[in-house]
Structure 1
Amino acid sequence: MHTPAFMRSMLSVPGIRERFITKAEDSPADAVLLDLEDSVADADKAAARTLVADYLPRFPKRGRQLFVRPNGLDTGLLEQDLTAVVNPALDGVHLPKVHDPDVLLTVDHYLTLLERTRGMSPGSVQIIAWIESAAGLARVESICRAAPRLIGVSLGSEDYTASLGVQRTREAGELEYARARVANAAAAAGIGAMDGPEADYRDSALFESQARHARSLGFRGKYCIHPDQVPMANQVFSPDKRELSWARRVVEAYQEGERQGLGAVGLDGAMVDRPVYLRAVELLSRSGD
């Protein structure tokens, strides 16, 4: 099963900061996320909900996807958030604190009801689930297959390490197992994996190095908390010229071998068989070739 095309960058914008939302209109991010959760103080939750609901229908998408991160199911605020923001302008919700499949199923049922009562196509509001705890990671394979509207999973590094009782470090060795398991579970389910944010938004070298490492594990994109991170994410998670040149040559060589009745061919001293060919085809599909 091949992982479908997925967003390379998602720019998170505090839902209470209208100036930031307006600034995000010019971002080259593949998706813009209006956040009602962690970046909004408890006292401002209602005001942020109103602002985001008002802004959604008039936000210029320009080919981007538009998501909202509501508050978690256990806060008692999620139902109000979804009631306010579900409309045809919304592409999806980035659902926090998905510790087990039941959380995802509950939200899926509520979205189905809202879509039906508002004349929207069933399943039109997509979900990306945040894996933010040891419990969520332990169930990530089931979570990834829990609902058809689920298109991806994200690893929330700060909450996840807090659930383990360990420090979040710059080297991120404590995330290695979680990243690998999330990426593998997503690929097995045929959905995308998005790496979580880097808190030090001033350190572009750190962001780029962590993004490249995440890509090497199978992640398709990265969550951005500052506009300056978006171009880096887009670059890292896009095939470069060298990769595309390799992929085109692999496809050409393998297809020529097939016409000759060969199951594998040689290219530059290396064997090209069907798995290598399929990897090249997928790489080209992500570039639009």
Structure 2
Amino acid sequence: MNLEQAHALRSQLFVPALSERFVDKAHQRGADAIIVDLEDAIAPEAKAEARRALPGVVRRIAAHGVPVFVRVNNDPALLNDDLEAALATPLAGVFLPKAEDPAQVRAVAARLRPAGAGLVLLLETPPAVLRAAELAACCPDEVIGVVFGSEDYANALGVVPTMESMQYAAHAVALAARAHGRAAWGVVGSLAEFGDLALLGRMARAARHAGFTGALAIHPTQVPVFNEAFGANEQELQDAAAIVAAFERALAEGRGAVQHQGRMLDKPIVERARRLMARAGR
């Protein structure tokens, strides 16, 4: 998967590699991509079994035309074997959890390079957030996305991942990712929230306003919330089209200053409208 495709992903859904029920229905959940998980969703004693099942699982999901990523284990005893198994599949890319060390990122990117697979970095610790810009700048041909892992980050600080406590770190990760042209995925708050979808929606919209381009879902009910928050509704698309049309009419008439519905239109406003329309395929 390339950078342009990564930027278009509003939602990605985690699916445990050993859950037949979730694997069978993965392509029906409405997510823009699927992440087959070898890490948190797999018990330590089942890691080898999950790795053996991985190629078949990825192929089954990818056969439905859905991009499939794999989240590996960032553990010296597991990482190399996980990468080898992932690279034997038709994957879109690899999610590297607990990414902190630029040297390790470069080493993993080198493993992925021959296969043309993208690399996504999960920044889940205080050192990772402090190094967000350096990590996002690593390997421009391989790193396609950066994720803010609010749960592990909050645990490391000993705080609850609320919108308030996660604001600084989330903004720092989004800024670093977007400054280096990477997609940015996450919410400003707790990703574990799926009981209160209104709260989840507020956290997702806060993330979009911070510069995030999408989010990762750990439950199917979160997918439509993220698709809405990081997508564009019909009214937003109509407004964007009207802005572009008004600006282009003014240029055709030789006017540089454009008034539209009570505000002046300048290049940044018009470019935002164009990007919104492009993201929606308009």
TM-score, structure 2 normalization: 0.92
Superposition pairs of residues 1-20 of structure 1, within 5 angstroms = 4=4, 5-20=7-22
Q: AA paired with 1:83?
A: E
Which of 184, 187, 190 aligns to 2:181? It is 190
3-state DSSP class of the match of 2:160? coil
Whole-angstrom CA distance in 1 between matches of 2:65 and 2:164:
36
Which sections of structure 2, spanning at least 5 residues, go unmatched? Answer: none
Which of 208, 229, 244 aligns to 1:215? It is 208
Greater displacement, 60-69 / 78-87: 60-69
Superposition pairs of residues 103-118 of structure 1, within 5 angstroms = 103-112=104-113, 115=114
> Are the equivalent residues in 2 in contact too, given 1:248–1:280 (CA < 8 A)?
yes
Whole-angstrom CA distance in 2 between matches of 1:40 and 1:88:
19
Match of 2:40 in 1: 38
CA-CA distance at 1:47 after TM superposition: 0.5
> Are the equivalent residues in 2 in contact too, given 1:100–1:135 (CA < 8 A)?
no
Q: AA paired with 1:262?
A: R
CA-CA distance at 1:269 after TM superposition: 1.6
Whole-angstrom CA distance in 1 between matches of 2:246 and 2:25:
47
Match of 1:55 in 2: 57
Whole-angstrom CA distance in 2 between matches of 1:138 and 1:262:
46
Which of 121, 135, 140 aligns to 1:129? It is 121
Q: AA paired with 2:99?
A: V
Whole-angstrom CA distance in 2 between matches of 1:96 and 1:44:
18
CA-CA distance at 1:212 after TM superposition: 1.5
3-state DSSP class of the match of 1:129? strand
Q: AA paired with 1:21?
A: V
Match of 1:248 in 2: 241
CA-CA distance at 1:243 after TM superposition: 1.2
Whole-angstrom CA distance in 2 between matches of 1:263 and 1:76:
61
CA-CA distance at 1:88 after TM superposition: 5.3
> Are the equivalent residues in 1 in contact too, given 2:15–2:37 (CA < 8 A)?
yes
Q: Percent identity at matched positions?
A: 38
CA-CA distance at 1:194 after TM superposition: 0.6
CA-CA distance at 1:246 after TM superposition: 1.4
Q: Does 1:85 align with 2:86?
A: yes
Match of 1:257 in 2: 250
Q: AA paired with 2:106?
A: L
Q: AA paired with 2:81?
A: Q
CA-CA distance at 1:28 after TM superposition: 1.2
Q: Does 1:176 align with 2:167?
A: yes
Whole-angstrom CA distance in 1 between matches of 2:150 and 2:46:
25
> Are the equivalent residues in 1 in contact too, given 2:112–2:118 (CA < 8 A)?
no
Whole-angstrom CA distance in 1 between matches of 2:160 and 2:112:
36
Whole-angstrom CA distance in 1 between matches of 2:222 and 2:129:
26
Taking a change above 3 Å as real, the CA distance of residues 221 and 83 of structure 1, as seen in their structure-2 partners, is same
CA-to-partner distance for each residue in 1:85-110, whole Å, 9 max, x for gaps?
Answer: 21351111111011132221110112
TM-score, structure 1 normalization: 0.90
Whole-angstrom CA distance in 2 between matches of 1:134 and 1:262:
50
Which of 136, 142, 154 aligns to 2:134? It is 142
> Are the equivalent residues in 2 in contact too, given 1:264–1:274 (CA < 8 A)?
no
Over aligned residue pairs, what C-alpha RMSD do you find? 1.7
CA-CA distance at 1:225 after TM superposition: 0.8
Taking a change above 3 Å as real, the CA distance of residues 108 and 252 of structure 1, as seen in their structure-2 partners, is same
Whole-angstrom CA distance in 1 between matches of 2:279 and 2:128:
29
CA-CA distance at 1:207 after TM superposition: 1.7
Q: AA paired with 1:133?
A: T
Match of 2:24 in 1: 22
Whole-angstrom CA distance in 1 between matches of 2:104 and 2:124:
13
Q: AA paired with 2:118?
A: Q
CA-CA distance at 1:162 after TM superposition: 2.0
> Are the equivalent residues in 1 in contact too, given 2:70–2:94 (CA < 8 A)?
yes
Q: Does 1:266 align with 2:259?
A: yes
CA-CA distance at 1:137 after TM superposition: 0.9
CA-CA distance at 1:80 after TM superposition: 0.2
Whole-angstrom CA distance in 2 between matches of 1:264 and 1:153:
38
Whole-angstrom CA distance in 2 between matches of 1:174 and 1:135:
17
CA-to-partner distance for each residue in 1:218-241, whole Å, 9 max, x for gaps?
Answer: 111111111121122112211112
Taking a change above 3 Å as real, the CA distance of residues 61 and 279 of structure 1, as seen in their structure-2 partners, is farther
